[in-house]
Structure 1
């Protein structure tokens, strides 16, 4: 076996060994993106999502209200929240400059291996620094969210397609969960924080 073939075999074996780790983020598909969110920032949240529940600095949902019922013909709503993470950004001081100046974290071995196996020519977006909100809508018995968005905004204006997807679960108790975190150049430095109890709502079947 020549050296080149041996190297290829080893890389393939490493790819198989790490596939479970590298593919977890894609199990339920990537969320919609809004505001300044990026796919790399989303993967940073995926990496920390399994940490123990911490609701100490979770968002305060302004809408939907608990148990809210939307009529069958209702237009797609805008859901809003406030966040201690956003409030902390309003305070002037040298801290913000220190966060912006933080060094970019090193790339993971999985990222390196992926680029080695499948070289890409696309340009990555600049590393994200700021607060992010991952909103997930779940239905009873569903392993994956029926709708989800990652946004840097304090609101989510649902589009017609997403609203129609929720309409397929009319009459069921849907729940909304928000995972929030603060990132410095795609690295989570605060959070993640989640609602202690997901917010329940419904779409009327008629």
Structure 2
């Protein structure tokens, strides 16, 4: 097989693999974005989401409390958490070269192969470096979350539309799961970490 045919075969294989991965990981749609979070950083989180659950450095949810019930007419509350990743932000300086190399080691094989075979433009936003949080609110057992946000902040207040969507499930258990990770230039270098048990809360019946 000559080089051209080999490249064509590799591109076809890459397209099939990438399509399958993207379909499985993103079928529930993109989250809302808050703070300094970007869609490129979200893709990095998607790449590592299927890793086994590690709660060793998961966030501590401050709000809502377990079993908390929000009145039907309540304004959207603020979900808050603290994070060991934020507490340990002071990291040893590794030098410019190390910062350039670290993200490549954490990238998925398909992303690396895609860059090799199909060079593309760089991200339209500056690569994200810092601690990042993917918050998902779901009904237990549901395939897709009712609401989700990716944020670099330690809190999130749903907008009126999102809160109204959650209000369509009065008196049902709603679960909050937070996946956290530390990224260097859009590459996950620490994590992901998740709550060992999602936090449950409810909205009351109107």
TM-score by structure 1 length? 0.83
Q: Count residues in correspondence.
A: 199
Quickly say closer, same or farther: Cα 1:60–1:108, change in 2 above 3 A: closer
- Please list the CA deviations of residues 146-168 of structure 1 after superposition, one character each: whole Å capped at 9, or x if unmatched: 00000000000110011011011
Shift of 1:18: 3.7
Shift of 1:25: 2.9
TM-score by structure 2 length? 0.83
Extract unaligned runs of 5+ from structure 1: none
Partner of 1:128: 128
Quickly say closer, same or farther: Cα 1:10–1:144, change in 2 above 3 A: same
- More off after superposition, 122-131 vs 189-198: 122-131
Extract unaligned runs of 5+ from structure 2: none
Partner of 2:100: 103
C-alpha separation in 1, matches of 2:73 and 2:67: 18
What's the C-alpha RMSD, in Å, of the aligned pairs?
Answer: 2.8
Partner of 1:35: 35
- Please list the CA deviations of residues 104-143 of structure 1 after superposition, one character each: whole Å capped at 9, or x if unmatched: 54476645659988x9779521111100011000113420
Contact 1:44 1:187 in 2 (8 A): yes
Q: Is residue 2:72 matched to residue 1:72?
A: yes
